[in-house]
């Protein structure tokens, strides 16, 4: 869930609690996504000056990211940025979220590689939805990225597109963990059962 | 003449009254993108404004900032009694997909927070210098105001920023 998300409005809380689905509130904006074993996350964390001529505001960053992914999906499935989502045609396959501070910004995308239809039933239809959704249900609104491109191709092409803007070097996750300062406390956190139950009760009253 | 009439109607829209402050002129300077910049305020390079009136300073984000951020759907503000430091974040505005920090132009103690923003965060977009004010602060180092930009300097700053992007 995004930083603002109200669990009762976004989740079918009873099912989430019954099935013990972990709910994470992240520190960036944006909506709610189901994360499963196939989800691909791509995150850009940039200093303010990292991208020349880019103003550190939501729309320019969104536009920059879509031009990068435009290279990845060139000629495939009518890719574009539609409002704030990545779509093939008018079907969403990538959701975006950002956080912007004085000197730095983060833009991350959750790519819907595949989905289990049953899992989608944990999500409610959000109150605030993009206009192009046109009140479609989840299943009519989203599509699977795996139907458009092999996973390794997506990763290779994303690296290739990123290399047109930055110099890259691979790094292992363990190496990043050792770099983290001991005092760092992530603000992204799991919501507790108590919080979810309280949200369900508040909704009913 | 036309500019004065436009300025007057914009002042009404922004609900700025100058009747009690004859020394605050309502001259508007226009940036390339027609963002409004007001006289009588000081500006930070992170696009917040501060209006110092006696023991209290009012802080908000500029028209340039609200225009670039897009529709504000939520504002996170500190509690009264908390403190703010010049150049450090004190809250955030949320637009649809992004959360963006707001930084304080001055240091001091938060004495009042605009409670209207919880119900109507869009005031930041429609009235960034008046109804969209965010916090009132008792400045701890009034000399910090001197390090901020005046309206002409800030207008130029915005023009240069927009031109280089």
Picking from A17-26, A127-136, A159-168, B101-110, which range would have the lowest pLDDT averaged per residue? A127-136
ipTM: 0.85
Q: Model pTM? A: 0.84
Do B118 and B139 reside in the same domain of the chain? yes
Is a pLDDT exceeding 50 seen at residue B20? no
Confidence band, pLDDT 50/70/90 cuts, at residue B26: very low
Do B19 and B40 reside in the same domain of the chain? no
B137: β partners? B57, B110
Residue-number span of the structural domain to which A148 is assigned: 7-203
- Residue A135 has what pLDDT? 87
Distance from B18 to chain A by nearest Cα, in Å? Answer: 33
Task: Inspect the interface and report whether the beta carbons of B73 and A54 lie closer than 8 Å.
Answer: no
pLDDT in tens, A77-118: 899 999 999 999 999 999 999 999 989 999 999 999 998 989
Task: Inspect the interface and report whether the beta carbons of A99 and B69 lie closer than 8 Å.
Answer: no
Residue-averaged pLDDT of chain B: 84
Q: What percent of chain B has pLDDT over 70?
A: 79
Picking from A21-30, A144-153, B1-10, B57-66, which range would have the lowest pLDDT averaged per residue? B1-10
Residue-number span of the structural domain to which B10 is assigned: 1-34
Task: Inspect the interface and report whether the beta carbons of B98 and A58 lie closer than 8 Å.
Answer: yes
Whether residue A164 lies inside any domain: the answer is yes
Task: Inspect the interface and report whether the beta carbons of B69 and A62 lie closer than 8 Å.
Answer: no
Do B77 and B112 reside in the same domain of the chain? yes
| Domain containing residue B128: CATH number | 2.40.50.100
Distance from B73 to chain A by nearest Cα, in Å? Answer: 9
Do B15 and B49 reside in the same domain of the chain? no
Whether residue A105 lies inside any domain: the answer is yes
Count up the domains in chain B and report the number: 2
Q: Exposure pattern of B101-112 as b/e (b: 16+ CB <10 Å)?
A: bbbbbbbbebee
Q: What percent of chain A has pLDDT over 70?
A: 99
* Farthest CA pair distance, chain A: 54
- How far apart, in whole angstroms, are the C-alpha atoms of residue B22 and residue A50? 46
Whether residue A1 lies inside any domain: the answer is no
Half-sphere exposure of A101 (CA within 13 A, CB side): 12
Do B126 and B149 reside in the same domain of the chain? yes
Do B68 and B133 reside in the same domain of the chain? yes
Do B44 and B7 reside in the same domain of the chain? no
Whether residue A14 lies inside any domain: the answer is yes
Do B73 and B83 reside in the same domain of the chain? yes
Do B24 and B43 reside in the same domain of the chain? no
Task: Inspect the interface and report whether the beta carbons of B165 and A30 lie closer than 8 Å.
Answer: no
- Residue B34 has what pLDDT? 64
Mean pLDDT of B60-68: 96
Count up the domains in chain A and report the number: 1
Distance from B56 to chain A by nearest Cα, in Å? Answer: 25
pLDDT in tens, A124-133: 988 788 899 9
Whether residue A2 lies inside any domain: the answer is no
DSSP string covering A14-44: HHHHHTT---EE-SS-S------TT-EEEEE
Do B49 and B110 reside in the same domain of the chain? yes
| Domain containing residue A178: CATH number | 3.30.930.10
Instruction: Name the closest residue on chain A to residue B94, using Cα atoms.
Output: A29
* Farthest CA pair distance, chain B: 46
How many angstroms separate the first and last alpha carbons of chain A? 23
Is a pLDDT exceeding 90 seen at residue B14? no
Do B59 and B122 reside in the same domain of the chain? yes
């Amino acid at each position: 869930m995004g930083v603002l998300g109200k669990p009762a409005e976004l989740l079918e809380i009873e099912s989430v609690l019954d099935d013990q689905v972990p709910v994470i509130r992240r520190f960036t904006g944006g909506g709610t996504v189901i994360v499963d074993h196939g989800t691909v996350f791509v995150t850009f964390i940039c200093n303010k000056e990292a991208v020349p001529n880019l103003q550190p505001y939501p729309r320019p960053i969104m536009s920059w990211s879509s031009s990068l992914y435009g290279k990845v999906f060139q000629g495939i499935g009518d890719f574009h940025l539609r409002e704030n989502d990545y779509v093939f045609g008018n079907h969403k396959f990538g959701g975006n979220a950002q956080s912007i501070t004085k000197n730095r910004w983060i833009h991350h995308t959750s790519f819907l590689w595949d989905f289990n239809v049953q899992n989608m039933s944990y999500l409610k239809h959000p109150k605030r939805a993009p206009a192009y959704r046109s009140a479609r249900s989840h299943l009519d609104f989203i599509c699977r990225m795996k139907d458009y491109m092999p996973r390794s191709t997506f990763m290779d092409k994303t690296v290739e597109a990123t290399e047109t803007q930055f110099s890259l070097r691979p790094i292992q996750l363990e190496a990043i963990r050792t770099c983290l300062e001991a005092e760092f406390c992530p603000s992204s956190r799991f919501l507790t059962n108590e919080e979810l139950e309280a949200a369900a009760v508040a909704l009913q009253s | 003449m036309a500019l004065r009439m436009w300025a007057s109607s914009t002042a009404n829209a922004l609900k700025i009254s100058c009747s009690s402050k004859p020394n605050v002129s309502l001259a508007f300077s226009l940036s390339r993108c027609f963002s409004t910049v007001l006289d009588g305020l000081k500006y930070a390079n992170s696009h917040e404004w501060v209006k110092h009136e006696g023991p209290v300073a009012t802080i908000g984000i500029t028209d340039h900032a609200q225009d670039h951020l897009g529709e504000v759907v939520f504002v996170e503000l500190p509690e009264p009694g908390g403190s703010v430091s010049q150049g450090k974040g004190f809250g955030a505005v949320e637009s649809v997909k992004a959360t963006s920090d707001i930084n304080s132009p001055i240091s001091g103690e938060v004495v009042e927070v605009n409670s209207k923003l919880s119900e109507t965060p869009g005031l930041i977009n429609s009235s960034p210098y008046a109804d969209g004010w965010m916090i009132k602060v008792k400045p701890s180092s009034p000399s910090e105001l001197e390090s901020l930009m005046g309206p002409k300097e800030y207008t130029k700053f915005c023009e240069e920023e927009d031109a280089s992007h």
